[in-house]
Every structure is written in structure tokens, then in C-alpha cells.
Structure 1
Amino acid sequence: MDQPTVGILHPGSMGAAVAACAATNAAAVLWCATGRSTASVERAAQFRLTPMATLAELLDRSDIVISLCPPAAAEDLARDVVGNRFAGVYVEANAINPERTTRIAALLEPDATVVDGGVVGSPPVGGKTPTLYLSGPVDATERISALFEGTLVRTAVLGTEIGKASALKLAYASFQKTSRVLVALAVGIAREHGVDQELIEVASKRTDSYLSEPQYVAKTAARAWRWGPELEEAADALEAAGLPPEMLRAAASTLARWDEAKDDGELTLTDALDRLAQP
């Protein structure tokens, strides 16, 4: 198969690095310089991307387009592409929810072939190896996998259903990114009372990720009647320290959905998740 020409929309820190990896198996990697910041221009030059004067020119020359932009801009960008009647493979690789991905696919089809993508990990520089999860038509996902073969970007195909890759990306991000915010709040309470070093010492005794222990969700549900009020107390402590309490109050509200599971030692993970989905 001939090497494809690839367009990247738009080369931020992740997009530019991913595009540079695509260049390994592409005839060229293009980007549209019009209206972009000085930082974008410098980044594109650093990764040796080829500038195009207009989006129309980029789309006309590209066999594959990868959309990696701030989530809020994803649909507007897709509409711009639709306006130019792009007919290649469009990789919707933004951190957006599956419903938005499905809407974008509906906008672009049938002219374009849409692949749902989700990048998990840091930008592929300095030896870091993120995974680009893919879902969509078999021929198209195979083309994208071939595009990144032998590069720092690993690929994994989740199936043919649009939305699967987006769902996996957001499910992981919801834990990973919220966890970092929770760390800031926990350390904030501790620092206010001069016990932040002790908190870190306590935490250092356990380094496993709770996300790898989904079976514990059932135990959480059974203890929710106690944990909810405890988090309300922690939220009060945050507020007293001038820190935002809303996240912990929201967690307490979530736990309240399990109030009727009080001390239920027979609860399964499925039971707990089913109850969580009921207001």
C-alpha cells in the first residue's frame, strides 16, 4: 500500500508529537498554519510538519486526517471539514464523550470514513509510549494501526462501534484526572493543620491504584452510609481552609445513592453499579 498523506488538526503538544510519529509511515504530514499561534508554528517546525496555507488545501491533499484539539472545538472543527467535503479517513481522537463522537461521525459520513480514537498516556516524546485506542470500520482501523506501526504510539482496536474508544478514554480520564485534584484537596486540608508530611507518609504505605480494584466498589457501597457523612465533614474542613468543597460534597451525594445497601455483605459489583445508576 502506498504511504498516505496525513493531516493533523491541530498540532498542540499531543497532536504534534503524534503527528511526528505518523510521519514514520506517511508520505507527508500536513498542518494548517493559518490563524495558529506562534507556539503552534514553533511546535510544527520542531516536529517537521509541512505547513498548508488553508484547511481546504490540507484536506484536498490528505488521505487521513487526525483531529486532536481542545474538546470544546471538536464539533466546530468537524463542521469545517464537512464544509470542504473531505472524503478520506477522519480520526476523531479528541477527549469527548461517546455521544459527541457519534454526532461528529454522522456529520462527516458518508463522504468520510470515521474512526473513533482515544489517546491514553503522555505525548510520545522522550521514550513515552501512549496508546491510541481505536474503534470503527475494520479497514480504516487497520490503516491507522499501520500508520503508527514501529513508532512510540501504540494502537489497540476495540471493535467496530463508534464511541468505544471515546468511552475508554473518558472512563480512564475521569479517574486519573479527578484523582490528581483529590490529592490537591487532601494535601490542602493536611497543610492547613500542619500534618501534610504525615499524610504523605501514610499514603506511601499504599501505592496501588484503586482503579485496578473494581471489586472494592461493592464494599464501598456497603459502607456508603458512613463514608458519605465523613466526606461532608472533610468538605467542611476544606471550606474552613478556603479550599473548594464542591468535589467532596458531590462524592457524598454519589455515596447517598447506596444508603439502602448499608452493611450488605452480599452485595456484588453488578448490584452496586446497578444501584448507582438509579437516582
Structure 2
Amino acid sequence: MDEPTVGILHPGTMGAAVAACAAANAAEVLWCETGRSTASVERAAQFGLTPVATLAELLDRSNIVISLCPPAAAEDLARDVAGHRFAGVYVEANAINPARTQRIAALLEPDATVVDGGVVGSPPVGGKSPTLYLSGPDDATACVEALFTGTTVRASVLGVEVGKASALKLAYASFQKTSRVLVALAVAMAREHGVDQELMKVASRRTDSYLSEPQYVAKTAARAWRWGPELEEAADALAAVGLPPEMLHAAASTLARWHEVKDDGELTLTDALDRLAQP
């Protein structure tokens, strides 16, 4: 299709930045401002997204809709879209397990064509270049891939089976996020026994280990509200194929101790460790 109109649901930190990249090859990128926070309004304006008043207007005008929201909201959002009988390409790009992605596809089809998506990497700002993995019908994935041609979002098609992109996203997240939780627990244990500096010296000999980056613990804490639900999704994906989910459930439970510091950019390592030790 020639320069499609794109709708983004809803422009969080990742969604707004990804949508801004799509704008390079789109006629317009829309978002629905009704009921959204002041932070969302400011973020959307910063990235040059066009506000509309209702979800119905966004869906009526859009050829491609990209859903990037907290995992818990993914199915409710898809159900709202299905209620409007959206007939374009719906990119389910949330960090949810393959079974949920397939349920969402069943909700939206046959009116819409569903593409499974998974973003691996940081938001595409400041030189960062994440990969948007895609799986689904060839024509639809080609349209989404074309949206990001020449941008800092790399699109990569995994095949036609809906669920593959979600599985890859969660497989990577299960390692990357749980590893960060283990760093926090190791540093917290060492600090309680007064050997945290010695631990850092040991870790400095292995610079390829996350343990050599204790400063990232504060960032982990600020992102815990998003990471915990992702790990619960990954745990469900493990259980669905007969693999043990307990480790990821435990990591999600640890992250829950930081829910009150959502997106706190001023949090220090000491603050994060204090909160971890005293829930």
C-alpha cells in the first residue's frame, strides 16, 4: 500500500518512539488522546504523533494499527478494536505469550489481518536500534516491514506462524530480565554482609557479566512495573510447553517489591537495594 495511515495503541516510551520511526514511511501516525495521562500527551507531541478524539476515529482512518501497551491490557484493547470491526493490519506487538497472541488473532479475524510482533532492544532514540520481529501472513508482514525501511527500527520476519515473534521476545526477556534480578539479589546479599565492594572487585574481572554493572539495579527497579508482568507471561509460555516456570515466577515476585518506584529516574542503587530488603 502507498504510505498507509498508522494508528498506535498506546504511545508509551517504546510505542511513541516506534511510531515516530513508522512516520517516515506513513502518511500520518494517529493516537487516541482521550483518557490518557498528561505524560502521554506530552510524549505523543514530542514525537509528532497526530491526536484523534476516539478509538473509532483512529480505526476508521488507519490501515495499520500497532498495539504496544502493558501486557495485562493487551486482550482488552484487542477486544475493543474487534468491537469496531477493524479491517486493516493489526500488529500485536506486546510482550505476551504465544497463546494470548493467538487468542487475540482469533478475536480480530477475519475482519483484520493479525501480525505477531515482538520488540527486542531499547526504544529507538539516542542512537538505539531495536529489532521488531514479525510473524504472520506474508503480505501483511511485508507491509509492516516496509513501514520501518530506512529507520532505526530493524524489522525481521520469522515466518507465517502467529506466535513465533512473541515466543522469541519472551525467550530473550526471560534471560535478560531475570539476569538483572539476580544481580540485584547478589548485590543486596553482599551489602547486608558488608562485602559489596569486594563483590564488585570480583565482578570486575568478568566484564561480560551483568554483575559488573550494579548501577543498572536502579534502572531495573524503575522498570519493575513493566518487567514483572513480562516475566509472568514468559512463565506461562514455559508452562504451556511443559518447561518449569518457577524461576520466572520468583523473579516477577522480586520485581513486585519495586512497584512503587515506577519510572523513577532519580532512584539510586542504595535506594533500590533498601526497598528490596524492606518490602
TM tier, smaller: 0.7 to 0.9
Aligned residue number for residue 193 of structure 2: 193
Shift in Å, 1:208: 3.3
What SS class does the counterpart of residue 133 from structure 2 fall into?
strand
Aligned residue number for residue 22 of structure 1: 22
Shift in Å, 1:247: 6.1
Aligned residue number for residue 160 of structure 1: 160
Task: Check conservation: 2:25, 2:148, Cα contact below 8 A.
Answer: yes
Amino acid at match of 1:36: R
Aligned residue number for residue 34 of structure 1: 34
Within 5 Å, give how 1:120-139 maps onto structure 2: 120-139=120-139
Deviations, residues 205-241 of structure 1 (Å, cap 9, x unaligned): 223369xxxxxxxxxxxxxxxxxxxxxxxxxxxxxxx
Task: Check conservation: 2:135, 2:162, Cα contact below 8 A.
Answer: yes
Q: Quick one: distance in 2 between partners of 1:122 and 1:201?
A: 28
Does residue 3 of the first structure (1) align with residue 3 of the second (2)? yes
What's the C-alpha RMSD, in Å, of the aligned pairs? 1.8
Does residue 84 of the first structure (1) align with residue 84 of the second (2)? yes
Scaled by the length of structure 1, what TM-score is found?
A: 0.75
Q: Quick one: distance in 2 between partners of 1:77 and 1:2?
A: 27
Deviations, residues 8-31 of structure 1 (Å, cap 9, x unaligned): 000000000000000000000000
Q: Give the % identical residues.
A: 86
Aligned residue number for residue 144 of structure 2: 144
Scaled by the length of structure 2, what TM-score is found?
A: 0.75
What SS class does the counterpart of residue 11 from structure 2 fall into?
coil
Higher relative contact order (CA closer than 8 Å, sequence separation 6+): 2
What SS class does the counterpart of residue 48 from structure 1 fall into?
coil
Shift in Å, 1:248: 10
Task: Check conservation: 2:85, 2:111, Cα contact below 8 A.
Answer: yes
Q: Quick one: distance in 1 between partners of 2:48 and 2:248?
A: 45
Q: 1:171 to 1:248 in 2, by over 3 A?
A: closer
Aligned residue number for residue 109 of structure 1: 109
Deviations, residues 8-57 of structure 1 (Å, cap 9, x unaligned): 00000000000000000000000001100000000011011000110000
Shift in Å, 1:200: 1.4
Q: Quick one: distance in 1 between partners of 2:200 and 2:207?
A: 11
Amino acid at match of 1:177: K
Amino acid at match of 1:194: G
Give structure 1 stretches of 5+ with no counterpart: 211-245, 252-279
Amino acid at match of 1:90: Y
Count of residue correspondences: 216
Aligned residue number for residue 204 of structure 2: 204
Give the number of the structure whose alpha-carbon radius of gyration is greater: 1
Deviations, residues 71-123 of structure 1 (Å, cap 9, x unaligned): 00000000000010100000000000000000000000110000000000110
Give structure 2 stretches of 5+ with no counterpart: 211-245, 252-279
Q: Quick one: distance in 1 between partners of 2:44 and 2:249?
A: 43
